[in-house]
Structure 1
């Protein structure tokens, strides 16, 4: 009897941790007495192609839809050829790709059909009434390929989709274009999926809640006159002869709202069930090369974005409103996961750390003594003490929203931080031995090109710190304020990313509703590389120097501060600072204005207040700036050297993708 539910995690989801969404859904179903399994077929594909090849596609090709393209060729009969994809999509994204890379990419593609055959044959699909697919990390076309095979042999099986690629208009369009799909969950499905699953399994007529769209709801969605890129409403008339498999809704029906669902009280959620992941990991021949991490969440949405939505950020979509778990619940859940799975390394799914957790969750985590080491994403406007508290609680890697070291640009894009905040966080985390993941972005519409001359001078002074993980032009993402009104921000000719026609043979209008990534031109016609190229070059040089240079400080007991400098920009291998020079350098561990420094010098007894005293402070600052040991940003002076001895943490190999 078909009564069970199977949730499927296809390539190219990360192999190092469980799929949190599917694990929460399984736990929610079990809470209702519904049997559920999770199939980690991403392992099956990785075992075929090899771990390095799998990771290469998952990471290097994420934004050019490389994994989607490999599977789309096995779904659609007619797609633009591989040569065009290579020339028009891959090479513009990475000019360093070689002919050998192309052969490797093609070789991976030859494993798709055998993998699908194996997946079709290795699972008893007839045992399941509902099969659900996660669609987030290049998983849409891998999932569609398998879903079609299931539907062709077992039409009675209900196929459902959910995940980041299904939110808002993307999910509705996906349902329209792929008849194998029965229901799409547009938002957080923790509460809606068990409700729908229970009705399907009981044989009742399904009354779908808000945030769920089925075949019957397509007839209720009202065509709107909204513009093509409206964030949450979309026209539903398909273009003729666009190569799709669209199911046309009849006209004249009542309007129906497809508002994304959202969980308001995260404490009501069950603990995630990772049993299937760890069982599959233990069976895998790749397990020796994959150290598993727990994947957990303490919040959803973004508390900063609720107040000041960063202009380029499309994360959270229609579920931006911030909700966090109570500190006790968060600590108890982590302790339970550690006990159950015996793993003490973890990655948070949160887009931002709850600023209240410094007083609640972090102390609770320390007191629990569960020995957890974890990764978190957070803002940079932290104090040195807060960095220490994070380290003591177990933080070993941080994703920081740095983006740039220009305060005018940061203010323009609503980051809620300054260049000094970013510099301090980068130094203090590096000093603590906490791995830092961050991106350097350029090309924000309306930015002042003059800022890039200063950035080009600044970056070579920072090469002893963690370099950017990636350097690139800002991208236009769905759900961002830029996307909601591109022309108002100086963006014109907005169109889906050039990779989408190589995955989906649909009309431009359909692609505009399916796409998450978009391209644009600047209304003022600027070529950003005309002024950003030196910054890009400096950042790439920084990446090459990672781990090979240092700027360290050691404060001796005799009152001599020793600075050792092996950066290419160094003026000397060693500097010895004493007296006022030493004091000023140490005071500027956290950035100070010259007025603050003059006040500190006077109150510390270095000299009596007055012009002569002020001049001595000024001369010291000028010497430290000339020796590139310090920077002056936004009229604040900041010492660049990292303290010795520094904490050295065992690094987490990667942060959340």
Structure 2
């Protein structure tokens, strides 16, 4: 499909789950192209990208997808297979269902097994009950469940369950390394000008070691938290790198395991190879750890920031403070690690206090890479979904877009829901935060071409701080002697009483006056009894 429609169009559509599903739905349920094409275009949020799309473009992509899947369907004698397994993760449900439907048409006796994130939990049961060409659905980790299913079939044992809740795999080290040989063979068949060196997905852990966030349903398919050992993960990545000639990897984990992650990246750093990684982390990364991770090849991370309001963070049950979030943003920027993070807006039952706290924190967060404004969406199985009354939700129903994807028979349970309650009020409350985030992005686009907007350089017995203000005005600050020492102490979140203990000659009154001056100027962030210096070190003179 990439070869037929080109990298740019492929990227635009694959960035939107709804747009991707709408194109697959055109094949699954023909005759509703107008509504589905309209949905695909509407769900593309990038303004420049949207300008490239119209109904004819979407129909051309549909035709290309049909041709690609048609080549696959025609390349095999499906009657020679007892089982066909189809894994559907993000963006792939409708295309996967179309493929299953066509295989069943070509070979009615072949058993179709679906698995993956899109068919987890009750959503998977609903898919099984809605589409008769699906014989089995595996919810959860498929390795053991699929083996048992096929083993029972080969031994002619009765198979009573068609919806299979898989047991968790206890020992992650027992898994074989992923086999990408088919993918690379396909790459080699592309014209030379369209070939590329891919980023390979790898898996360090399953589940989430926190697992309490009220908005999250990512762990619907997992039970518990397990990880590979650091040594096994390092051996796997190095083996994949040598076998396929790649240097870029993306961890698919919900959250990298803290202890094993540190050991893994230390081993990679000691090997001296130029590997680059993407991974997801929980907030509260120390300055030292960020430097180590950046030096070991971790170049892009997604961190669960989600909020800069202490009140909302408690309702989200993040287990992190605004200080943790701001410090993580600071340390990652200083370490040269690109942050991809979200701010959840419009959360059910929002308050003016949550908005005010966010606006105040944004005055300080603006010196770090901007976060993305994301409207809360209600996911099947999340704590908000399960305890909707606590969040002032009056009703829930499958998102209306599913009626466009499945106009004839829509599943009774879906992964995304729409709801009623305080939504209209929530959106009105968060409107000014959304505008402020837009200004944050504009500020960074205009004033951070070479260095971040708030940096410091250390002169040994003094520091120079460079600060860019809203309109591009640059201020210079100099801190000398004891002021420098206190500033350097604050490069990690620190309690004010600890600063006092380290500097017994400073009176409480003078220290608080000094800190308040830095706070008013936007050079430090304060939360409770802790303070944090915001400037990042600039070694590029």
TM-score (norm 2): 0.90
- Contact 1:464–1:567 (CA<8 Å) still a contact in 2? no
Q: Do residues 161 (structure 1) and 114 (structure 2) align?
A: yes
The count of residues paired between Structure 1 and Structure 2 equals 535
**Hey, what's the Cα distance between the residues in 2 that align with 1:570 and 1:580?**
30
Counterpart-to-counterpart distance in 2, 1:526 and 1:591:
37
Match in the other structure for 1:637: 531
Instruction: Report the equivalent of 1:557.
Output: 459
Measured in 2, the distance between the counterparts of 1:159 and 1:286 equals 36
Residues 271, 333 of structure 1: 8 Å contact kept? yes
1:68 is matched with 21
Change (3 A) 1:317 1:536: same
- Alignment partners' CA distance in 2, 1:623 and 1:145: 63
Contact 1:476 1:482 in 2 (8 A): yes
| 1:472 equivalent among 352, 371, 374 | 374
**Structure 1 358/296 Cα, relative in aligned 2: closer, same or farther at 3 Å?**
closer
1:544 is matched with which residue: 442, 462, 473? 442
- Write the mapping of 1:71-470 to structure 2, written as runs, cut at 5 A: 71-77=24-30, 79=32, 82=34, 86=38, 91=42, 94=45, 96=47, 100-103=52-55, 104-126=57-79, 128-200=81-153, 202=154, 204-208=155-159, 217=161, 258-285=164-191, 288=194, 290-305=196-211, 309-357=212-260, 360-468=263-371, 470=372
SS of residue paired to 1:438:
strand
TM-score by length of 1: 0.75
Unpaired runs of 5+ in structure 2? Answer: none
SS, match of residue 638 in structure 1: strand
Cα separation, partners in 2 of 1:302 and 1:83, compared to 1, 3 Å: closer
Give the distance between the partners of 2:375 and 2:531, measured in 1 at CA. Answer: 29
Matched, 1:517 2:416: yes
1:91 deviation in Å?
Answer: 4.3
Q: Which has the higher contact order (CA 8 A, sep 6+)?
A: 1
**SS of alignment partner, residue 302 of structure 2:** strand
Please tell me whether the aligned partners of residues 142 and 166 of structure 2 are also in contact (alpha carbons under 8 angstroms): no
Tell me the distance in 1 between the aligned counterparts of 2:46 and 2:144: 45
Q: Residues of 1 paired with 2:530 and 2:270: CA distance?
A: 38
Contact kept, 8 Å, 1:551 with 1:640, in 2: the verdict is: no
Q: Of residues 566, 576, 593 in structure 1, which corresponds to 2:478?
A: 576
Q: Compute the displacement of 1:584 (Å).
A: 2.9
Query: What is the alpha-carbon root mean square deviation over aligned residues?
Result: 2.9
Query: Contact 2:302–2:340 (CA<8 Å) still a contact in 1?
Result: yes
CA contact (8 A) 1:51 1:286 kept: no
Instruction: From the two aligned structures, give the one with the greater helix fraction.
Output: 2
- Measured after TM superposition, the shift of residue 206 of structure 1 is 4.8
Deviations 1:626-651 (A, max 9, x none): 3222222334322221101169xxxx
1:322 positional shift: 0.5
The answer for the alignment partner of 1:592 in structure 2 is 494
Distance 1:110 1:271, change over 3 A: closer
Partner of 2:3: 47
Query: What stretches of structure 1 of length at least 5 have no aligned partner?
Result: 1-44, 209-215, 219-256, 603-607, 648-657
